[in-house]
Amino acid sequence: MSRVNAILDEASELPVPEQRELALQLLERLEVADVPEATEPRVPGQIDGYWFGAGAEIPTLPPAYDPTGALLCDGGDGLYDGALCLDLVKLEGAWYPLSEAGRYAYAHSSAMLRDERVRFVPAGAPWAASVYEAAYANSLESVQVAASYGAEAQARCRLDYPTVRLKLRKLA
């Protein structure tokens, strides 16, 4: 972290707009550097789907765009009422477990921080047959992830922040 502080000290000599730009570039590089390498885009057993906020209606047809999220449930059992899942987010074309550091970066996770209702609808047929409400559960240290979610999920976790878990409640 001393390299970061040295860069920020030098940046303080720059005009404000350049300081902001440098800080954003630095954060992007640090974020990418902290992401473990993935050999495959998907985590085995992940369930792709779409996040919908409190005020959003779930459409009658599946969205034409790529899934906005994915979940990996404990024991690989699939989605069910009461499931404890890892919240997977897509970075650089691969899916990674969300860490506590990233909770403010995504619409669904920041909404949950504000205690807003967030729903997950699995992709695939039949569309919207199952709808789940998600809420934060206790986070796990990366060394605890493999026991419930597998070695591949653990390998993709950040080591410097706990891994976020969600508890699902089946709505439909």
Question: pLDDT for 52-86, tens place per residue?
Answer: 998 899 999 999 999 999 999 998 778 999 999 99
The answer to whether 14 touches 22, Cβ cutoff 8 Å, is yes
Distance CA 69, CA 48 (A): 6
The answer to whether 106 touches 98, Cβ cutoff 8 Å, is yes
Structure tokens at 37: 């390498």
Task: Return the closest-CA partner of residue 70 out of 89, 84, 53.
Answer: 89
Residue 74 has, within 13 A of its CA and on its CB side, a CA count of 17
The answer to whether 165 touches 136, Cβ cutoff 8 Å, is yes
Question: pLDDT for 115-156, tens place per residue?
Answer: 999 999 999 889 999 999 999 999 999 999 999 999 999 999
Task: Give, rounded to a whole angstrom, the gap between the first and last alpha carbons of the chain.
Answer: 47
The alpha carbon of residue 139 and the mean position of all alpha carbons in its chain are separated, in whole angstroms, by 13
Q: How much is the average pLDDT of 162-170?
A: 98
Number of residues written out for the chain? 172
User: 113 — phi, psi (to 5°)?
Assistant: -65, -30
Is residue 1 predicted with pLDDT exceeding 50? no
Is residue 19 predicted with pLDDT exceeding 70? no
Mean per-residue pLDDT of the chain: 87
The answer to whether 44 touches 152, Cβ cutoff 8 Å, is yes
The alpha carbon of residue 59 and the mean position of all alpha carbons in its chain are separated, in whole angstroms, by 23
Distance CA 119, CA 91 (A): 21
Question: pLDDT for 112-122, tens place per residue?
Answer: 999 999 999 99
**Cβ atoms < 10 Å from Cβ of 106:** 17
The answer to whether 64 touches 39, Cβ cutoff 8 Å, is no
